[in-house]
Structure 1
Amino acid sequence: MNLSDCDHPSVACLNPYETIRKYQCQSCGEVMMCECEKDVAYRFFPSNLSTSRELKTQNRFHVTLGFQEGVCNSCRGLPEEAYPKAQMYRLKSKIHRYYWREIYFETTKRFADWAESQGYQEYCIAERDHHEVYTSINQTVVKEIKELHRINPKYIYEGESANEVITKNEVDVISLDGVYLKPSPGRAAILDRGEICSVEEFAKRHFERLGYKVLFTESVPFHVLFGVFMWLLIQDSTDSKVDMVGVGDREAFDNGTKGDIIWTLLPEDFGTSGYAQRRAKSIEEHFSMLPGSKEELFWLFEYWVDHSANLRQYLWAHRPQDLAKAKEIISILPADATRQILRYLVEDYWGRYLGWPDMLVYNSCEFFFVEIKSSKDKLSEVQKNWIRGNKNYLHLPFKLVKIHKKGVIETAPLTLMV
C-alpha cells in the first residue's frame, strides 16, 4: 500500500499510559501521534516523541508518521476510552484515577505559564522552588475537571461495588462490634477492654483470643518472596530482552542520604502479562527446580537472599522487617501455596502486586488471610482485584473482617496503640 493513500481508518493505541500516546494504523502499520497533542508534546515532552513501548509486551515501536490529524478518539468524534490508573497514594479518587492525563497536562501548562511570568526558563526548576504554587494550581484544575465531569462526563466510571465483589467471589465476612473514639488520633481508633487500639490491632486481639497467631503482612513481604525465589529467572542473562538498568539506592533513600546507583539486570517487558507469555517455557523450567517442601524453600530463601538483593532493591522489597515477614510466611504456608503465589505474580506482576490482605492468621491446623475494614472503610480497587484473583487463581483461604460501630465515645486526643 502507498502510505500516502492510507487514511488510517482504524488505529490502536500502543500504550495508553504513556504521556504522549502513539497509535498504530491497523491498515498500513505506521505509528503516529494525534495533532491535538502536538503543542503540549513539543513544549513539555520533546524527548518522548520518537518511540513507544506497547503496554502488554513492552516491544519498542518507532514513530514513523509524526503528528497526524484525526487520530485519537476525541478528534474522530468517538467516545474516549477510559484507562484509569491503579488506586494508590495521591490517586485515591476516581477523578484522579480516570482524568490523570487531563489533570497532568492542564496543571503543567498553567504552572509553566506562571513560571514564565516569574522569569523562570525551566518550569521544572520553578516547581522545585515553588511547589506550593504547583499544588494550588493542581487543586484548582482537579476542582474544575470534577465539575466538568458532573456536567458532561468524558469517561464512564466502571467497576463493581464492594458488595458485588464480596458476593460474587463468595468472601467469608466476619462481623465484629467495636466502640469507636471521637476524635480519633489520625486513624480509626477503637476501645478494647480499656485500651485504645487501631482496627488492625482490634482484629488481631480477636483472633488471638480464639487461639490463633497473627502476622501482619500487606503486600511487600510477597514482593520479597518474588524477588528472592524468582531472581534467577528474571535476571537470566541469556534472555534476549534483558538489559542493565540503574535504580537509586532504596536504603539510602530510607535513611535520607544520597546513595549510589544500583545496577541490575531486568527484562524490558518485566512485570507484564506479555513477559509471562514470552517466557512460558523458561518459567516452567524454573518452577520445576524450585523445592516442593517448606523446609527446602526456607533453605533456598536463605541461600538466595543476597543474590536477589539488587532485584529486591528495584522492587522496594529490601527492608529487614519485610524479609523477616517473608520468612515467616514460608514457615506458615504449605509449599504449594507459596509456589502458587509466585506463579500468580510472575504472570502479571504489575497488575497483581498490590492489594494483598492485612494479615495472615494461623494455628497448627489451619491458616487464612484477613482484610480488615472499619465501619466507614471500603475496599480499594486493588483490594477488589486481589479478591478476584484469589477466587479465580490463588484459592487461598480468605476472610473479610468488618468492625461495625457499636458506639462512640467522645474523648480528648489520645495516642493510638497499633
Structure 2
Amino acid sequence: MKQPTNTQRSVCQHALLAIVNPYELLRKYACRECQAVLTCSCDQELALYVLPHQATRGVDAQTRLPLQVTVPLAHGVCHECRGETPPAFPTRPQRGAASLVHRYYWREIYKQANHRFIEWARQQGLPLTGPDGQSTVTALAHQHRNEFEAIERVVVDEIRDQHEKEPKYDFARASDADVLATCQVVTENFPACYITPTIGHVQVLPLNSKDLPSAVSVEEFVAQHMRRAGRQVMFCESRPFHALYATLMWLWVQDPGDSRNRPAGFGGRDGTDAGEDGLIWTILPDDFGSPVHASRRADELKEHVESLPCTTKEMLWLFDYWTPYAQDLRQYLWAYQATDVKRSRRLIEILGPEQVKRILRFLAEDYWGRYLGWPDLVSWRESASEITNVEFTEVKSSSDKLSDDQRDWIVNNSKLLQLPLKIAKVHRTQRLLRP
C-alpha cells in the first residue's frame, strides 16, 4: 500500500474508508483517497492496554503483507462512530463459542469485556502498566480469570438480549435442505435402533436387535450397509486429503525460490517428532493457505500440477518417493499419522490422477478456506481390472445438522469438484435402553 504524504494526511477528510482486515481485533481502516491507514479513537484502551502490538501495524487481508498505521486513534473512523451498521464477519464455530451470538458478535464481546475488565481493575486499584511502562492487563486477566470470565458472560447475555430486541446482524441463512436441493445432493435414509442414553458418540443397532456389544457408530452402520451391497468402503473425512496435498504439493508450497518463505516453528503434533524445544521447524511462505498465495504463484502452480504424472502407477510411485520429503508439511497440516498417508495413497488409486489434480488445485487456491468439511466415507465397486462407481457419503444421525464447513464444501463441490456425493441419514426409529 502506497504511503500518504504529510500534505495528504492533513488535507484529506478520510470520507472513503474500508476495513483492511476484518478479523483483526484492533481494526485498521484504509482511506481510498489518500491511502492513509487509520485506527479509531474508540479503540484507545485496546491499543494502549490489550493489543499494543497491533496498535501501530497490521496485515493486509488481500496481500498478507505488513502495513504501518499512519493515523492512529483518529475520531469517527469505525462504522459505529460514523453511525453506520458494520458488515458482518462471522467466525467459524469454536469450542465454547459456537452460538450465532458468539460467532457474529465476537469482536463486540471481546471489546466490551476488555473495557469492563479494565474499569474493574481501576476500581480495585490494580496498576494497568508495570514499572517498565508495559501493559499488565493481559497478565491481570489471567491472574483474575474468574472475574474476567464473569464479566464476559454478562456481556454475552446483554448482547444476546439486545440482539433479540434490535438485531445488529442478520442470522438468517439457507436451511440444510435448501443447500442440498440447490446442489442436487440426494439423501438416503437408514432406519436404526439408537442406544440410549448416549455415552460419547451415538451408537446404533439394526432394527429389532438387542445385541448391545455389536452397537456401532452411525458411520460404521452405513458402511456395513454398503459392504453388504458389494461396495468397498474407506473412512475418509479431511485428513487423507491434507496428507495428499502435503505429499504431492510440498515442492510448490516450500519452493526454495519463493521470496516470501520464512522459518515456521510449530508444536509437535501430539508430541510426535518435536525437538528439544517442543517445536518442529520448517520453511513456509508467509501467505501459505490463502488465495493470495495461489494467485501470487499462479504460473508455478499451473506448471507444478501439470507436471504431475498422468497415470495412476506413476503418481503412486511419485507419492511414495516424496513421502519422506513432505513429512514436515504433513505434520504442520495435522496429517502425520501412518493411516493418513495410507488413506491418501489409496485415494490416488480410487480417484485417478486427473481427479486428484483437480483436488490439489482446489485446495491450493484457498487451502484454509477449503481444507475442512470433506465427507465421512468414500465407497466404490472394484473388479480385477478397474475401480468404478466411486461415491462420497456424508453421514448424519437423526438430530445432526450440517456444519458450516460441510455446507461450504458441498457448495464448492457442486461448483468446482463435482465429486459424486450423497447424504446418509440414520434415523432414530427405535430405542434400546442401556443397562
8 Å CA contact 1:253, 1:259 repeated in 2: no
Give the superposition deviation at 1:110.
Answer: 4.5
Letter in 2 for 1:60: P
Q: Secondary structure at the match of 1:207?
A: helix
Alpha-carbon displacement from aligned partner over 1:165-202 (angstroms, at most 9, x marks no partner): 00100002111111222211133222234332221121
> Residue type of the partner of 2:155?
V
2:387 pairs with 1:374: no
Cα deviation 1:12-55 (Å, max 9, x = unaligned):
11110111111100111110111111112211110112222121
After alignment, is 101-110 or 159-168 more displaced? Answer: 101-110
Q: Partner residue of 1:335?
A: 353
List runs of 5+ in structure 1 lacking aligned partners.
413-418
Report whether the alignment pairs 1:214 with 2:220: no
Distance in 1 separating the partners of 2:112 and 2:41 = 17
Structure 1 position 237, deviation (Å): 1.8
Higher relative contact order (Cα pairs below 8 Å, separated by 6+ residues): 1
- Do the aligned residues in 2 keep the contact of 1:87 with 1:382 (CA within 8 Å)? no
Q: Deviations over 1:266-285 (max 9, x none)?
A: 11221111221111101011
Q: How far does the alpha carbon of each residue in 1:140-174 deviate from its partner, in whole angstroms, 9 at most, with x for none?
A: 43233222211222211243211110010000211
Tell me if the contact between 2:90 and 2:104 (Cα under 8 Å) persists in the aligned partners.
Answer: yes
Classify 1:293/1:108 alpha carbon distance in 2 versus 1 (closer, same or farther; 3 Å): farther
Match of 1:94 among 86, 92, 100: 100
**Displacement after TM superposition at 1:243 (Å):** 1.7
Distance 2:67 2:364 in 1: 24
2:287 is matched with 269
**Corresponding residue SS for 1:362:** strand
Q: Which range is displaced more, 52-61 or 365-374?
A: 52-61
Aligned to 1:407: 430
2:59 partner letter:
R
Q: Deviations over 1:74-108 (max 9, x none)?
A: 11111111001123444422112111112223334
Q: Which residue of 1 aligns with 2:258?
A: 239
**Which amino acid in 2 is paired with 1:382?**
D
1:394 aligns with 2:410: no
Q: How does 1:185-334 map to 2 (within 5 A)?
A: 185-192=199-206, 193=209, 194=211, 195-252=214-271, 259-334=277-352
Secondary structure of the corresponding residue to residue 292 of structure 1: coil
Deviation at 1:410, TM superposition (A): 3.1
Q: Distance in 1 between matches of 2:220 and 2:120?
A: 48
Q: What letter matches 1:272 in structure 2?
A: S
Distance 1:185 1:246, change over 3 A: same
For residues 240-273 of structure 1, the C-alpha deviation after alignment (integer angstroms, 9 at most, x for no partner) is: 2222222222241799x97533222211221111
Letter in 1 for 2:390: F
Say if 2:142 is the partner of 1:163: no
| Residues 215 and 127 (structure 1), Cα distance of their counterparts in 2 relative to 1, 3 Å cut | farther
Decide which moves more: 138-147 or 209-218: 138-147
In structure 2, C-alpha distance between the alignment counterparts of 1:71 and 1:314, rounded to whole Å: 38
Question: Which structure 2 residue ranges, 5 or more long, are not aligned?
Answer: 1-6, 131-135, 383-387
Preserved contact between residue 50 and residue 138 of structure 2 (Cα < 8 Å):
no
Q: Deviations over 1:337-372 (max 9, x none)?
A: 111111100001111111111111122122111101
Q: Which residue of 1 aligns with 2:133?
A: none
Contact 1:207 1:213 (C-alpha < 8 Å) held by counterparts:
yes
Greater C-alpha Rg = 2
State the AA in 2 paired with 1:383: Q
* Matched AA of 1:355: G
Q: Is 2:392–2:419's contact at 8 Å kept on the other side of the alignment?
A: yes
The TM-score, its normalising length taken from structure 1, stands at 0.91
Mapped partners of 1:285, 1:147: distance in 2: 54
Provide the rounded CA distance (Å) in 2 between the counterparts of 1:113 and 1:181: 51
For 1:322 and 1:146, locate their aligned partners in 2 and report how far apart those are by CA, in whole Å: 41
Q: Distance in 1 between matches of 2:147 and 2:179?
A: 40
Q: Quote how far apart the aligned CAs of 1:320 are.
A: 2.5
Contact 1:15 1:22 in 2 (8 A): yes
| Percent identical residues | 38
Query: Structure 1 residues 309 and 115, CA, compared in 2 at 3 Å: closer, same or farther?
Result: farther
1:150 pairs, out of 159, 164, 171, with 164
- Aligned length, in residue pairs: 411
Alignment of 1:57-136 (within 5 A): 57-111=63-117, 117=124, 122-125=136-139, 134-136=148-150
**Any idea what SS the aligned residue of 1:316 has?**
coil
Aligned residue for 2:299, secondary structure, equals: helix
* Structure 1 residue identity aligned to 2:229: L
CA distance, structure 2, for counterparts of residue 196 and residue 133 of structure 1: 45
Aligned match for 1:353, one of 366, 371, 374: 371
Larger deviation, residues 332-341 vs 382-391: 332-341
Q: 1:130: Cα distance to partner?
A: 6.1
Which amino acid letter does the alignment assign opposite residue 269 of structure 2? Answer: R
Give the Cα–Cα distance (whole angstroms) in 1 for the partners of residues 318 and 146 of structure 2. Answer: 49
Aligned 8 A contact 2:46 2:52 in 1: no
3-state SS, counterpart of residue 321 of structure 2: helix
- What is the CA deviation profile of residues 195-249 of structure 1, one whole-angstrom value per residue up to 9, with x for unaligned ones? 3222112111111111112211111211111111111111112112222222222
**Counterpart AA for 1:270:** F
Letter in 1 for 2:221: F
Corresponding residue to 2:30 among 18, 24, 32: 24
Change (3 A) 1:300 1:115: farther
